[in-house]
Amino acid sequence: MPAPAREPTFLPLTMAAAGNAEGDGDGVRSVRDRAEAADRAAADCWLSLVAGCTSGGQVLISRLHDLSEATSGYAGMRWWLSRGSVHRRRVVEAEHRIDDAVREGDGAEFAEAFVGYDQAVASVVVHVQNRLGKLSR
């Protein structure tokens, strides 16, 4: 049985932000679920990269896309396409970097790109929470 403390985590900021999000709305629950699925897929893909295999990449990219979609839904399409466009670009660019790293089998680029992706998605979740907090005051 693997020790959870020793398992790699690729989306710690996103999972913490979604886990600490106020309320149990469907949007934040979707982000949380998609983040957990993407994190598991990233760990599997990482193990494949370390082992010199090329499997797992397509599943990971699909899970990342699902997380990006859930994040945009949580943020609200109007904000995502206007004021949130800087965040949207960061998420999309990091997602592409991860895809490139997987296709090239570049573990260092993979890890670095995940840091950017995690920061970008977590920033959106925190921004939404701040926005919602201001609305409820």
117 residue type, one letter: Y
- Does residue 24 surpass a pLDDT of 80? no
Q: Which domains does the chain have, with CATH numbers?
A: 24-136 (1.20.120)
Q: Read off the pLDDT of residues 60-81 as tens digits, 9 standing for 90 and up.
A: 999 999 999 999 999 999 999 9
CA nearest to 18, candidates 136, 125, 123:
125
Of residues 4 and 50, which shows the higher confidence score? Answer: 50
DSSP code for 73: H
